[in-house]
């Protein structure tokens, strides 16, 4: 027998399915204005052709530069720094949380 393929989405399609949200992308999702230095999260949406690798799903990083309609995002993975080129559709701004701990 032949061996089963181990492609990019093997065993992960249930994580990428969005049953709780409408599947159509809005213009707001496609056109974003993120500035260099802002914190963003990687959230795969819409087209599966150009998504970043599923291991980076939900990771938070900083925008280093803009390349066309995509962003270069720097992410810390353990002690290593990774730079990913992520299309604007799959980037979501992260709101900074205020420190509410009493001193």
Tell me: the pLDDT tens digits for 4-21?
777 767 776 666 665 555
Q: With beta carbons less than 8 A apart as the criterion, state whether 33 and 93 touch.
A: no
pLDDT at residue 30, rounded to an integer: 77
SS3 (DSSP) at 60: strand
CATH architecture of 13-93: Roll (2.30)
Model pLDDT for residues 78-95, shown as the tens digit of each residue: 999 999 999 998 999 998
Percentage, residues of the chain above pLDDT 90? 42
**pLDDT band at residue 53 under the 50/70/90 scheme:** confident
Report domain extents, the chain: 13-93
**pLDDT band at residue 49 under the 50/70/90 scheme:** confident
The Cα 5–Cα 70 span in angstroms is: 30
Cα torsion 61, 48, 65, 96 to 10°: value is: -30
């Amino acid at each position: 027998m032949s061996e089963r393929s181990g492609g990019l989405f093997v065993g992960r399609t249930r994580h990428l399915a969005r049953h709780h949200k409408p599947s159509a992308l809005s213009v707001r999702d496609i056109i974003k204005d993120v500035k260099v230095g802002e914190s963003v999260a990687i959230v795969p949406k819409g087209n599966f052709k150009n998504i970043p690798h599923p291991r980076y799903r939900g990771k938070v990083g900083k925008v280093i530069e803009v390349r066309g309609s995509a962003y270069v995002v720097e992410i810390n993975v353990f002690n290593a720094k990774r730079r990913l080129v992520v299309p604007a559709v799959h980037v979501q701004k992260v709101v900074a949380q205020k420190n509410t701990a009493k001193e």
